[in-house]
Amino acid sequence: MLRTIVARSDAFPLAQPFRISRGVKTVADVVTVEIAADGATGRGEAVPYLRYGETIAGALDEIANARGAIADGATRDELLTLMPAGAARNAVDCALWDLETRLSGRSVTDRLGQPDIAPTPTAMTVSLDTLDAMAAAARTLSDVPLIKIKVDRTDPAAQIRAVRDAAPNPRVIVDPNESWTIAEVEGLQSLLAELRIDLLEQPLPAGEDDALEGFRSLVPIAADESAHVADDVGALASKYQVINIKLDKTGGLTGALALADAAAAAGLGVMTGSMISTSLSIAPALVVAARSSFVDLDGPLWLAADRAGGVKGVDGVLTPPVAGFWGTI
């Protein structure tokens, strides 16, 4: 089956800046892939991440290098060796899942034996800002199911307390984005317990997380930047309690499902996350979210305008995209 492939970069401005410990984002720059065959077209999206040495241009080059094999009918399993795990493979893998749906007339969830995607509670992010601004943002989220707080090293205790005081009821994830030391993880334990924090996400740099070996945290700790693919789980099981699965790290839904299975086999919890992206990235992530204890897929809600037919967010709950948007008929 001969295919045609289109890969391009698209930019989606944010409605307001998104700040984490590594910097500020005002535009979601994504790679969009469309793969067509037999009158049907499947779509996929990815967000190359500089933290992993990825760029838009680099991702487009990776796809161009694999174009011949993809056009000649390479399967998703063959992609696992044809392309490295990462954003470029994610866009292609998800486009193939979508194409398979349109050619077969069977949804992704049907083929996986899962129920249709239901409305899904997601973390609503309070990005890094002044204490007053973080508290003000948290007040608007006081009734959502789950809040995620972006913090750094300047005064994380005050940042977390400002949000928790303004929003006493939701579950809370604290995400330092690799900015803490092990001394800070240890020193903040009592505060995290006092403020009923449900999850601490990747507090240490990925290359320094051996310090978590055997550490008994008062709240579960999730691996994000340390966890990319299923083969990573063996080295992480004694350091973390939860694995944050992002399709841009696993190289697509195929790799994400394998990572979810590996985490479950190791007795680890699963979180599903994403970059700041459109609903075309979120739709396949919702398949993994159905298997997750924590879901952080509010990326499209930061955009000034999403792709037509995408997810809708009301009070911290995502409504799935319209039929036919991705992976459904």
The rounded distance, in Å, linking the Cα atoms of 161 and 146 is 16
Beta partners for residue 7, in sequence order: 33
Closest CA relative to residue 176, chosen from 206, 153, 209, 207: 153
Q: In what order do the strands lie in the sheet with 120-121?
A: 120-121, 317-319, 312-314
DSSP string, 26-50: EEEEEEEEEEEETTEEEEEEE---G
Tokens of 261: 């299975």
Q: Which of 148, 150, 239, 312 is catalytic?
A: 150
Q: How many Cβ atoms are within 10 Å of 190's Cβ, its own excluded?
A: 10
Quick check: is 246 catalytic?
A: yes
Q: 307: Cβ–Cβ under 8 A, 6 or more apart, which residues?
A: 278, 279, 280, 325
Closest CA relative to residue 177, chosen from 190, 159, 196: 159
Closest CA relative to residue 317, chosen from 206, 170, 193: 170
The rounded distance, in Å, linking the Cα atoms of 315 and 313 is 7
Q: Which of 25, 148, 239, 246 is catalytic?
A: 246
Is 171 strand, coil or helix? strand
Catalytic residue IDs: 150, 246
